[in-house]
Amino acid sequence: MKGNSSNTSTGKEIWNFILHLRWHYQVFILSGGFLLGGFLSPSLNWNSYLLQFVNVHLLLFGGATAYNSYWDKDEGPIGGLKNPPPMTRWMWMMSILMQAVGLLVAIPAGNAFMGIYILSMIFFWLYSSPLTRWKGDPIKSLVAIGVSTGTNSFLMGYLSAGMNEIDLSIIFAAVGVALVILSLYPLSQLYQMDEDRKRGDRTFAIRYGFSGVFNFFVISFSSGILLISMALFVDHVALGIGFLLVGFGIGYWVQNKILQLTAEQEDYELVMRIKFATSLLFVAFILLILVLKHTNLGIVTGLDVLLI
């Protein structure tokens, strides 16, 4: 009986760790930048690209998210996890090991890719570790998230596709992705303010309040959509214009949803719906045009004209 109880406890801890990786969050919310990097590459090495997609989102982002959860020790809802289970010491070590394994997997993608991968690991550490705790600073937290999950995600997608030349349009897209991702970041802090205050964190939402979060979304999202549209416009004029119009339309919808928030834990469901809806639309669209551009499936759709 004691052996069965031990096995059950171990199995539950493993499952709790898997939950804290929040893989659904990494793939459906944070993958848009990586996919856009692949789309903007003139050619695409599918084997390298898919391998590094799994590496970045499951090992790097997943490991970094679990690492952050270990230090946060949240009891209330967090992004992608309404009831976070407790974490133990081995999960902290495993989260670091996952990122280290991911670094080994990154070797075939080249030195530039590895350098960006390592830079992301450093920013994730700066963000979460109690020694630095950038998460507790409203500006430093934006820098850490913007670079690691925004700019770097896009660049790793671009480099893993087989490209090394970075021009102005690629820089526009990289910054644009960071701004779009950051625009939604403080929303999660609205329902976490009680937890953050307990830890002594001075997050963006705590520092600037609801109006600051709303204004930041409007400016950051609009600027990000504009920069991405400019990058698309260089080689795909119709696509750039279409993305700009649709993006601003989505931004207007999100603005109205944000105004329904009350800055309480009860906002969790609405915030998650906003983030998943916005991100899924972005991810689905980029994935579609990525496949249309880099495969030869013989599919003719109305979207083909956008790639001209």
Map out the domains of the chain as residue ranges: 46-163, 167-308
Quote the pLDDT of residue 1: 47
Stretches in the chain below the pLDDT threshold 50: 1, 298-300
Quote the pLDDT of residue 85: 85
pTM: 0.89
Quote the pLDDT of residue 287: 93
Quote the pLDDT of residue 5: 54
Give the Cα separation of 308 and 301 in Å (integer): 13
